[in-house]
Chains A and B, each alone.
Chain A
Amino acid sequence: MIYVNKFRIIWIIALTAMVFVLAWLKIVPTGKITYFNNSDFISNLTPVERMNVDKIIGDPVYFTLRVPRRFESAKLTIKFKNESALPIIEAGVLIDKKVWNYDLKPLDNSILDNLIGKWNSVRSGDLLLLQREKKFKSVEEFLKNPPVSDKIAAYNYSLEQNFLLPDYKTSKEEMTLCRPLQGAYQFYTYIKDEDLSFDFALQDLNKNDDEDIVDALVYYKDQEIYKETLPDNNSNSRNLKLFLTNLPEGVYKISLRANNDIVTRTITTSQSKITFINKVALADTPEVSCGRNLFTNSRVAQFQTILSNKLGQIKITQAIKSPLERGVHQYSEAGCVGVCTQQEVNLNETYKLFSTGCQNRAVPCSYETLPSFSEIIMPSDGITVTGDGLFSFSLEQFFNPEIKKVDENFDPDREDVDFIIAKYTPPTLDGEWKIATADFDLTNAYKEFNKHSFLISIPGLRAEDGTLDGVEVGEVKIELSGVSLFDKIFKMINDK
């Protein structure tokens, strides 16, 4: 009987301890906890088609992090092998599900790693300045008095600049972009002594039952200055108008956030410069006959369609005028500037992403990147075009206010760059493995069913090429930080 009582005392204590530990792990009273990829909290990397056991063979791959409560920041540590010498590896957390916007942070950038050994490098905190020839003694000196922006490239850093178009003339007439666009998009426009005026004629396809709210956001120097929200009124056509007065001269970014149920039929504006950023999704509107050809400064462009009747041959030619200098177009009466190049992309499969360049080509080809300025001749609508540059529907609308970016296609010699400013810390080495960390702010991160969605992006890595080149992932660790229980109680008492 004594043994029975002793046994009962033991298991009751054990159960109480177990409940206490589980409650501790659920509440995380210290505000800090670490999870690893073999736990229930971090999911496997998906989709499986882009994975070969623990090796990422396609871009991008995703995983989710389940959090037991709210946290404010996450420190992601990834141990990996980049044996295929892929130039850029980045990780990101989902911020906005509507436009699938991820807050991307660098993990490994072999372009910068190589240049660190060759160029002069100075560091200030997590900012790195690389100079072909040493001109600036510190990062602060560089930021205080930056050189001509054509000579600068940036990576994971937004360099403040006052971009102006010297020859810009205000348009007196309204212009209508008549090519319908699907879903969300972003573009730059230029304002000088004029009002910002846009009228978006929207069509709601109502293919899904979700509420189709449309947001238009206006940014000036990376700061949101205006937001207009158009609620779903269940009608098929709606208009969203933006009208802002007394704006200083400069570049403005406009972001239209909408799901794929929304088609922008027309954009009517008094602005003469409009360049779309990285993506143009031409809506399936065969009844519209107006121009669908695009002009771009992208070095690599990708094409995709989900409609079998939209397959065809896409031609890319060097454009007649070339923005050799930022904001200034140079004309050549003879046609192409320099050697005329032409590429063709055979869009012969639905859902598959087709790219320019030599990837996946059976016959040898000599071109890796597109000319500095190209025209894309589209066979039909219903095709989504993405690229690492800007797009416009006419030569006159095109302007490029962006600083050059260090991406997977970057070549400092070809692009005549002498300075690189980057917010980047190279990964540390552990034998054959590399260990990289990235910090994420979770306060604005998207969360669904207590899960944050993460992405690992390796631009240029394609599972379809069958080469099995990729990045082997050894360990994923996430250290979460948030308000401790004691701080929360202390704050509640103070607030009362």
Chain B
Amino acid sequence: MINDKLGSIFKELFYALTVFLVVLAVLELLFSRMVLAYINLSYLLLVWLIIGIILLVISKKKLSSP
């Protein structure tokens, strides 16, 4: 039950951060330094990666549980 709730929270966070990253990366590609002048995308990418790994671990546990 807790795993389900946690899983759905991390899933939503992961989706949200994915959309954030894609939108910001596209903006940066279109208009140089528009995003990177204010936001360090590396930190956002790191948080996104950590949430992705946690999500994978939770999903794996969910799959292996009887």
A residues at B contact (CB < 8 Å): 4, 7-8, 11, 15, 18-19, 22-23, 25-26, 39-41, 66, 68, 450
Contacts and interface: CB of A to CB of B under 8 A. Distances in A.
B8 A4 contact: yes
A66 B27 contact: no
A26 B24 CA distance: 13
A4 B13 CA distance: 10
Lowest 4 CB-CB distances: which A-B pairs, in order?
Answer: A40-B37, A11-B16, A26-B34, A7-B12
B12 A68 contact: no
A456 B32 CA distance: 28
Interface string B2-39: 00000010001000100110011001000111111110
Contact of A40 (B16, B23, B27, B33): B33
6 contacts: A18-B24, A26-B31, A40-B33, A40-B37, A68-B37, A450-B32
A69 to B, nearest CB: 10
A113 B8 CA distance: 69
A26 B39 CA distance: 13
Contacts of B16: 7-8, 11, 15
A40 B31 contact: no
B34 A40 contact: no
Interface residues of B, number: 16
Given A15-B23, A25-B37, A66-B37, 6 more contacts: A15-B16, A40-B36, A40-B37, A41-B37, A450-B32, A450-B33
A22 B33 contact: no
Given A15-B19, A15-B20, A15-B23, A22 B34 contact: yes
Contacts of A450: 32-33
Contacts of A18: 20, 24
A22 B38 contact: yes
A35 to B, nearest CB: 10
A66 B35 CA distance: 14
Interface of B: 8, 12, 16, 19-20, 23-24, 27, 31-38
Contacts of B12: 4, 7-8
Between A22, A26, A39, A450, the greatest number of chain B beta carbons within 10 A of the residue's beta carbon is seen for A22
Contacts of A8: 12, 16
Contacts of B37: 25, 39-41, 66, 68
B34 A68 contact: yes
A22 B8 CA distance: 30
Nearest to A25: B38
Contacts of A26: 31, 34
A461 B59 CA distance: 65
B40 to A, nearest CB: 10
A8 B16 CA distance: 8
Nearest to A66: B33
B12 to A, nearest CB: 5
B43 to A, nearest CB: 15
A330 to B, nearest CB: 61
A333 B37 CA distance: 69
Nearest to A39: B37
A19 B33 contact: no
A28 B46 CA distance: 30
Contacts of A68: 33-34, 37
A191 B35 CA distance: 58
Nearest to A41: B37
Contacts of B34: 22-23, 25-26, 68
A359 to B, nearest CB: 42
A8 B32 CA distance: 29
B54 to A, nearest CB: 17
B25 to A, nearest CB: 12
